[in-house]
Structure 1
Amino acid sequence: MLPRLRRPASLLAALTIAVVPLTACSTGGQADDGTLTVFIPQLAGVDMSQSTTTKVLQEKFGVTMRFETSTYDASAAKEKRQISLASGDLPDVYMLIPWVDQFNQVELLRLGRQGIAVPLNDLIEQHAPNIKKAFEETPELRRLATAPDGKIYGMPQWNDCFHCSYGAKLWMNSDWLRKVGLPMPTTTEEMREVLRAFKTRDPNGNGQPDEIPLSGSTSDTLLPYFMNAFLYDPQSGNAFPSTLALNNGRVQLQAAQPGWREGLRYLASLNAEGLIDPGAFSQNRDALMAKGDLDGAPVVGAATVQHPALLVTTGHPDGRDKLYDPVPPLTGPTGVSYASYNLSTLPGATFLITAEATEEEQIAAIKILDWFHTQEGNIIGQFGDEGEGWLRPGPGDVALDPNLTPVFEQVPTDPEAPRDPEGPWGAAAGYYSTEEFRNAQVQSTDIYSPEGGERRLYEATKLYEGKTPQDQVFPYWNVWVEPDVAGELATLQTNIENHVAQSSLQFVTGQLDVDDDSAWNAYLDGLRNLGLDRYLQIQQTGYEAAG
């Protein structure tokens, strides 16, 4: 069974960092004053030194903490982290947030070999029983954290986000389906019939030919959902742009296979009929949302978004946000019906102890991390005090997974209210959110209410679970790339992915004729000229080394 494991913008984004001189490391923190210095993102309005989480940690572990903070802006946070590494004035520990900024695997190898990152193996063995338990419960976590040399240079945040793992979904206006008298489509040809009806039968009832049958955005692209009716496509919008997959244990690029051409041919035919929003290929999420929220009658029939809140504002005054339901994976002309799958835990590390930390500080840091791997530490660290950030379940409360006993309920926050300076650490403390932990949270049983949004996604994702060909999934999260080839691989990947994206767009929109063999062969030649063979060779070597 596939582990439900997400990753940020690009598999090899920012693989190269300036080589930090070994002189940047102190000799075990000789000039240290005994204070644990933590580099951590700080949410605007929150003071980490006054945070309820900080107060609990200082009292529980008898440690004084000082903070060097970055922001939740990914680019700024990454830049500040890299400056701190290059400055020679290191914190004792980095505690980051994966979707903001974290250490990638290449950085971990480099920093470990330079002596900047302290291996955690012995610290975990001697002082972290809960991390050891997590490794036993979730072997994939240990594998993800362990470098090819057997050392653990940093720890990732384990986030078993079910709906994140199957991100390439399609949501459709069920009210429109009823009005045109058609069932939810199950095949590519039934989808064509539905989109034609959306375009021609005035399902929004305003007497205007303003319906947009199908849309998307540059973040939530059309290809992955539809391509999976022709061959397995692991993409999930721009968050997972790679089309690498396995074929009998060999790494291959799906975008170079015949099935990719068939998928493009199908989408090109929909576009030629005017069934696809031209803006779907260039608009951002805000522009898509503007169409979903457009005053008057709804105009968008379906969109390839992970969840409907990316199309229509939750709690829309006319209730249109309740009209969109998930469409299961379509079956293509040859019987193919797959769903994209990606790791929901990001490879790399958010927790890293530097050589600046004394032995005492290293022990304190690993004990803090160990506590975050308990249910108590996970809840209090992320949500704060009971009664303020979270509640115990009450009579009649139902867990997200109704087969589980509910454990806690998050207290909703008012997005308009100023943040409490003493607020909890939030995402910076979420180190062991297993499937059971996430699914034991109390959720409303009304999936169309704002409080039931997570259940709506959970139930939608059940339609996609089990539709991934496990033998074709390329587990990039376990592939560690050696620093000496990381730069080459990053360049190859960027060039190849850009060529695939640009050429696919040209084929779908008719700028290139997908039925023209010379145009298709020129596309394939372009991949080869960009170094496809070398790209696959490096990935194959890494895959085989990972075992």
Structure 2
Amino acid sequence: MKKTWISATICALAISTVLAGCSDSSSTDSSTATPGSSAQATASGPVSIKVFADQDSASNQDLANSWFSKQLEQKFNIKFNWTTVPFDGAPEKRQISLASGDYPDLFLLVPYIDHFTQSDLLKYGQQGVVLPLNDLIDKYGPNIKKTLDAYPDYKAMNTAPDGKIYGLGQFAACYHCSFPNKMWVNSTWMKKLNISTPKTTDDFKKMLEAFKTKDPNGNGKADEIPLSGSIETFGVHVVPFLMNGFIYDDDHTYLVMDNGKVDIAANKPEWKEGLKYIKSLYDEGLIDPGAFTQNADAFKKIGENKDAQILGAGAGMHPAIFVDIADGNRFSKDYDSIPPIVGPGNVSYSTFSYAGNPGTSFVLTNKASKDVQIAAIKALDYMYTLDGQLASQVGKEDVDWRKPQSGDKALDDSMKPLYAPIPLKAGEKNLNNNWISLGQYLSDSNLRGSLVQSTDIYSDKAYERRLFEATKNNYDTKQPKQVFPYWALWIDPNSADQASMLQTNITNYVNQSALQFITGNKNLDKDWDAYVKGFDGLDLKSYLTIMQKSYDSSTYSKK
């Protein structure tokens, strides 16, 4: 039912990837160039950098002729020699280039398409193929250094247990994405049925019962679906929100922290009680059976049912997953988020997921000369400044974005508005000024929070504000004090294959068993002990040992 994080962090295919090969070059430079100064040019002209990059051709991206590419070349006296690949098949194409030994000075990747895993970086860093960036950052990357120091989790994600930084990943602080497992309920139906916001698991069940039996859409038919979701990502699984009223469910690894000790939640008595509650909802027809089998398209067909509104509540990071949000839509305004519900043990959690991808997307190889290393890190450092952020992620001033006008409000009410994107005209293609997803190296809360947004949260122009407020008001601060920081852990390459296999087997076992218990194919009273015993056969002990070792050796703050 889920994509596994270790597989995404370790495997050489799919969304995550590798590095290999060898050549001759040192990893650092001892020159006295000052941070922010122009890159040293060779005797024949600008510093030439060979770059392998993922290119979003579907969005009209042309990196060689992009305005931002030209800005970097002019500002830092460099010349990019691009090898670009479309998103489709990008990891495989990069692997082919590396296996042949014909790889570039620099990799620039879109992290959700392809990135270097932490295990890859350890392996190839030890081989000398990937260059550590520590000295380069200290000498030529003051803004990168400032960011690493300001965000400990981001620093831990990029710092190996040996203290070396073998590459840098993007830091996209999508605030609402950090709390993906939200619950959006039909507040119009709630008002019609005089239902208050549910606070407990019992309240939530009563609300779903009313949605099912009291004909809130008023068509005289028993066609309402009280609760639905899907099997894909983006917080659409129905179990985590419900389980969080009993025990913490991270919807990812099922691992939890207990005073610095790594453990699993899915074999605990509280997990059993959570399954009993969810089964009771399922048995009464309050959960759509399709929530455990359908994809996002099928989920949206329920939310956008043609004849009548039939969805009472939907699980998801945001409501656009299951309803249209464009102005003039039929149903979007009807759905509001609710806080986590409190279970019988006075437990109530929100699922937290760090807003960043494990692994790195900026990697210098040993093909890079000292001049290339310095030039590349200076260009990257610029992307960690406000001017660089706006240029790389948004584009040209007064073309792609404008300065605030009188009356403009920032997304975060506590911040001063800094910029407002200028939308494309109808039918207009991307202007190829920015680097789109390739350039989001620092999209922190300061940048996102200063975005100009309308104050009408149900307008599509203020959708980000709607999600920001839902997260701030209902989910932030409700996560456990300690969560298992899978995003910041570096697994020893010698244990990587074993960890990947164990993690896949264990999470699949948890997912499949949960579904069997909920639907009645397994009996919670008769089969629970055998289910718990089943973890022994999956070698849960070894898995937890590997995770504990990775946690203990990580640079992640243990406070």
Q: TM-score, normalised by structure 1?
A: 0.93
Corresponding letter in the other structure for 1:458: F
Is 1:82–2:95 an aligned residue pair?
Answer: yes
Residue 458 of structure 1 corresponds to which residue in structure 2?
A: 468
Aligned amino acid, residue 375 of structure 1: L
Runs of 5+ consecutive residues of structure 1 not aligned to the other structure: 1-6, 236-240
Candidates 41, 45, 51, aligned match of 1:38: 51
| Aligned partner of residue 352 in structure 1, secondary structure | strand
Given candidates 184, 189, 192, the residue that maps to 2:197 is: 184
Comparing 371-380 and 312-321, the one that deviates more: 312-321
Within 5 A, what are the aligned runs for 1:385-404?
385-404=396-415
Q: CA deviation at 1:130?
A: 1.2
- Name the counterpart of 2:5: 10
Residue 398 of structure 1 deviates from its aligned partner by 0.6
Mapping of residues 506-521 of structure 1, within 5 Å:
506-516=516-526, 519-521=527-529
Structure 1 window deviating more from structure 2 (315-324 vs 52-61): it is 315-324
Give the one of 474, 477, 486 matched to 2:484. 474
| CA deviations over 1:467-514 (Å, ceiling 9, x no partner) | 11213x112222211111100000000000000000001111111122
The residue number in structure 2 matching 1:342 is 353
Structure 2 SS opposite 1:504: helix
1:347–1:477 contact (8 Å) kept in structure 2: yes
2:23 to 26, 36, 46: 26
2 CA distance for matches of 1:387 and 1:337? 46
User: Which one-letter code corresponds to 2:180 in the other structure?
Assistant: G
Aligned partner letter, 1:391? R
| Alignment correspondent of 1:440 | 450
Is 2:515 the partner of 1:505? yes
Alignment partner of 2:359: what SS?
coil
Distance in 2, matches of 1:248 and 1:142, equals 22
Per the alignment, residue 309 of structure 2 pairs with 298
Q: Check if 1:319 corresponds to 2:327.
A: no
The range that moved more, 506-515 or 486-495, is 506-515
- Judging changes above 3 Å, is the alpha-carbon distance between structure 1 residues 403 and 47 closer, same or farther for their aligned structure 2 residues? same
Q: Distance in 2 between matches of 1:307 and 1:194?
A: 21
Distance in 2 of aligned mates of 1:203 and 1:146: 53
How far did residue 436 of structure 1 move?
Answer: 1.7
Q: Is the CA contact (8 Å cut-off) linking 1:383 and 1:390 kept in structure 2?
A: yes
Question: Does residue 239 of structure 2 align to residue 223 of structure 1?
Answer: yes
How far apart are 1:14 and its partner, in Å?
Answer: 5.7
1:129 correspondence with 2:142: yes
Alignment of 1:201-212 (within 5 A): 201-212=214-225
Q: CA deviation at 1:315?
A: 2.3
Task: Kindly indicate whether the alpha-carbon contact (under 8 Å) linking 1:8 and 1:99 is maintained by their aligned counterparts in 2.
Answer: no
Residues 120 and 302 of structure 1: CA distance in aligned 2, closer, same or farther (over 3 Å): same
% identical aligned pairs? 43
Counterpart Cα distance in 2 of 1:453 and 1:20: 36
Conservation of the 8 A alpha-carbon contact between 1:399 and 1:406: yes
Q: 2: distance between equivalents of 1:243 and 1:55? A: 46
- Counterpart CA distance in 2 for 1:59 and 1:287 is 49
Distance of 1:154 and 1:188 partners within structure 2: 45
Aligned to 2:34: none
- Deviation string 1:148-204 (CA, Å, 9 cap, x unpaired) is 111110011112221111111100011111122211111110111110110011101
CA contact (8 A) 1:227 1:260 kept: yes
Check if 1:168 corresponds to 2:178: no
State whether structure 2 residue 59 is matched by structure 1 residue 49.
no
Could you tell me how far apart the structure 2 residues matched to 1:290 and 1:20 are?
38
2:537 to 518, 522, 529: 529
CA contact (8 A) 1:215 1:302 kept: yes
**Matching residue of 1:356:** 367
Q: 1:433 to 1:70 in 2, by over 3 A?
A: same
Q: Aligned-pair distance for 1:417?
A: 3.5
Q: Does 1:410 align with 2:410?
A: no
Q: What displacement does 1:351 show? A: 0.5
What is aligned with 2:31?
A: none
Equivalent residue number for residue 493 of structure 2: 483
1:514 is aligned with what amino acid? L
Structure 1 distance, partners of 2:532, 2:298, is 33
1:142-153 equivalences under 5 Å are 142-153=155-166
Q: Give the C-alpha shift of residue 136 in structure 1.
A: 2.9
CA distance in structure 2 between the aligned counterparts of 1:354 and 1:272, rounded to whole angstroms: 57
Contact in 2 for aligned 1:25/1:90 (Cα 8 Å):
no
| Distance (Å, rounded) in 2 between the aligned partners of 1:121 and 1:291 | 51
Q: 1: CA distance between counterparts of 2:19 and 2:169? A: 25
Pick closer, same or farther for the CA change 1:138–1:20 going to 2, 3 Å. closer
Identify if the C-alpha distance between structure 1 residues 291 and 28 changes in structure 2 by more than 3 Å, giving closer, same or farther.
same
When structure 1 is superposed on structure 2, of 63-72 and 283-292 the one drifting more is: 63-72
Q: What one-letter code is carried by the residue in structure 2 that aligns with 1:160?
A: A
Change beyond 3 A, Cα 1:415–1:362: farther
AA of the residue aligned to 1:392 = K
Which residue in 2 is equivalent to 1:542?
Answer: 550
Q: 1:416 to 1:286 in 2, by over 3 A?
A: farther
TM-superposed CA distance for 1:63, in Å, is 0.7
CA shift at 1:535, angstroms? 0.4
Whole-angstrom CA distance in 1 between matches of 2:91 and 2:356: 19
User: What amino acid maps onto 1:491 in structure 2?
Assistant: M
Contact 1:8 / 1:98 at 8 angstroms: preserved in 2? no
Distance in 2 separating the partners of 1:414 and 1:352: 36
Residues 265 and 515 in structure 1, CA contact (< 8 A), matched pair in contact too: no
Q: Is the contact between residue 8 and residue 346 of structure 1 (CA under 8 Å) also seen in structure 2?
A: no
* Superposed displacement of residue 95, structure 1: 1.1
Alpha-carbon distance in structure 2 between the residues aligned to 1:318 and 1:122: 53
* 1:199-278 superposed matches below 5 A: 199-219=212-232, 220-235=236-251, 241-278=252-289
Shift of 1:9: 5.9
Partner SS for 1:301 = strand
Q: Distance in 2 between matches of 1:251 and 1:487?
A: 20
Alignment partners' CA distance in 2, 1:450 and 1:150: 44
Cα shift at 1:258: 0.9
| Deviation string, structure 1 residues 199-230 (Cα, Å, up to 9, x no partner) | 01110111111100000000211111111000
Among residues 109, 132, 135, which one is paired with 1:96 in the alignment?
109
TM-score, normalised with respect to structure 2: 0.91
> Which has the larger displacement, 162-171 or 125-134?
125-134
Residue 71 of structure 1 aligns with which residue?
A: 86
